[in-house]
Copies of this chain bind each other. A is one copy, B any other.
Amino acid sequence: MQPLPLSRAFTLIEPGPVVLVTTHDGARANIMTITWTMVRGFNAEFALTTGPWNHSWHALKGTGECVLTIPTADMIDTVVGIGMCSGADTDKFARFGLTPLAARHVRAPLIQECLANIECRVEEIVGRLNLVLLQGVAAHIDLDRPDTRLLHAVGDGTFTADGERFDRREAMRAKLPEGL
């Protein structure tokens, strides 16, 4: 994992990938699969929709910390499996053979097998909207891997991976944040 400038962290969430969220409740680490995410600004500001129906919710609310990790398309069965069991009775790192790495600013771990990890602090929880507002504080990326395709959930049990790529940087230059 190499450091990724925080100013680029939004480019990991903006394409709408499936995200694995790690938490640590003080006793142990957990992981949830989530696709209800949104970028809120160019400075690593994110939103999630989640709530008490997820076991991870309690650690997220209690500690005010999490890591957004970005799996790749070759991890699809891990992603689905994590979403289909609960941290209430499962050690998901052990069950899915994932390696927790110490984060720099939060107790929630990075996932070594993922493409990227964004350490986050909870900025605010809007309970009546099931809305969690996050502020990224550090980001890490591993570009030295065979598959860097993000995975997108359709929501009906099907998924797509990133396919054809298009470069429109020149056409968009006037609206891109400087240095991106």
Chain A interface (Cβ < 8 Å from any Cβ of B): 8, 10-11, 14-17, 35-41, 47, 49, 73, 76-77, 80-81, 83-84, 126, 129-131, 133, 149-176, 180
Residues of B within 8 A of A161 (CB): 162-166
Interface pair A164/B73, CB less than 8 Å apart: yes
**Cross-chain pairs A/B with CB under 8 angstroms, 19 sampled:** A14-B153, A15-B16, A15-B154, A16-B16, A16-B35, A16-B152, A38-B38, A80-B168, A80-B171, A81-B171, A84-B172, A84-B175, A129-B133, A149-B164, A155-B180, A158-B168, A158-B169, A159-B168, A160-B166
Interface pair A176/B160, CB less than 8 Å apart: no
Main SS of chain A's interface residues?
A: mixed
Residues of B within 8 A of A39 (CB): 35-36, 49, 155
CB distance from A4 to the nearest CB of B (A): 12
Residues of B within 8 A of A159 (CB): 165-166, 168
